Amino acid sequence: MLISNTTNFHPSTFLLLGIPGMEHQHIWISIPFCSMYTMALLGNATILLVVACDKTLHEPMYFFLCILSLTDLVLCSTTLPKMLAIFWFGAQHISYNGCLTQMFFIHMVFATESAVLLAMAFDRFVAICRPLHYSSILSPGVIGKIVMACVVRGLFFVFPFVILIQRLPFCGHHVIPHTYCEHMGIAKLACANIKINIIYGLTVALSVTGMDVVLIGFSYGFILHTVLHLPSQDAQLKAFSTCGAHVCVILVFYIPAFFSFFTHRFGHWMPPQVHIFVANLYLLVPPVLNPLVYGINTKHIRQRILTLFLGYK
């Protein structure tokens, strides 16, 4: 009977420590984090407002941009409010169900945003490499199916994380040395074999997100090949500038994410402070940069923002 009770035990709450060893610096660390969160909220909300208010922007490229802004808002809002509450008020407790909910949305929205970035890379590929077939390839029906596939894929691959955590006993362990609830961060607290969690997490990271990276690379490779054959040097420079900025933002999104994934499993030598800082980058930096690179850096979006907020024509 004792064994059964232990096996089925789940803590009522978890304790998020924030950044272990840097508790006295939490207030100072919160300043750039809060500033970036505010910029992410304003930037993505502006993109959504501008595209919604201007019918001339109701095109595939800007529709995908709106989906990206929505995922960015959810991604950073899933973690930053609780993180700031830890830094400012020492509100370290989070309920067991709340922790699993946060974990689910972090991974699901990350997987969805990865798929959206792939869709945007495909959109640019069609626009630059197959411009005459753009409207027929990316029809409204096709775009709707792409967006649905992005969301369903995220749900399908991430929901098993919840099941894999639910099956684990914790034997009283409830302290998470992190700023938010993440699959492997929770699984490591279990007093049971977590090999299945490790294998499934790596499988999803490599076969799903990793495949997105490969396909995005192919898309921009074809784009680069087409751009190099453009007759106008000005057109080449413009395309290089735009695609180069896109690639930089994509790298900022994926590199910290994969670093965090693999550090959880293999990086026992990595100082926890470094790991936690990097783990927060892929949840916060892309939502700040995406509105700038994909939105304000785009001529039509920039003009609409100036018209909407400053009255410029």
Side-chain half-sphere CA neighbours of 157 within 13 A: 24
pTM of the complete model: 0.91
Write down the pLDDT at residue 294.
Answer: 81
Q: What pLDDT score was predicted for residue 185?
A: 92
Does residue 44 lie within any of the structural domains?
A: yes
179: in domain:
yes
Looking at residue 70, what is its pLDDT?
96
Give a yes or no: residue 22 inside a domain.
yes
CATH label of the domain that carries residue 97? 1.20.1070.10
- Per the structure, the complete domain to which residue 137 belongs is given by 13-307
Assigned domain for 2 exists: no
Q: Is residue 1 part of a domain?
A: no
pLDDT at 152: 96
List the chain residues with pLDDT less than 50. 1-7
Write the pLDDT tens digit of every residue in 256-288.
888 888 887 776 778 888 889 888 988 899 999
Domain contains 97: yes
Is residue 203 assigned to a domain? yes
pLDDT tens digits, one per residue of 213-244 = 999 999 999 998 888 887 777 777 777 777 77
pLDDT at residue number 128: 87
Report yes or no on 6 lying in a domain.
Answer: no
Question: Domain total for the chain?
Answer: 1
